[in-house]
Amino acid sequence: MPVAPQYYHAHAVDATIQHEKAYQRQTAVNENMH
């Protein structure tokens, strides 16, 4: 069963947002370590 392009695009965007949040959280932790 093929995945609808719209669904795949939305999923990719959501994954990117999750990655950005995780990166920002990690950066904040690193900043606090100094």
Distance CA 18, CA 34 (A): 25
pLDDT at 34 over 80: no
Distance CA 14, CA 22 (A): 12
The dihedral built from the CA positions of residue 12, 13, 14 and 19, taken in this order, carries a sign that is positive
- Global pTM reads 0.57
Q: For 6-33, write each residue's pLDDT tens digit.
A: 877 888 899 999 999 999 999 999 888 7
Residue 28: the pLDDT is 92
Residue 33: the pLDDT is 78
Distance CA 13, CA 33 (A): 30
Q: Token pair of 18, please?
A: 């999750």
pLDDT at 1 over 70: no
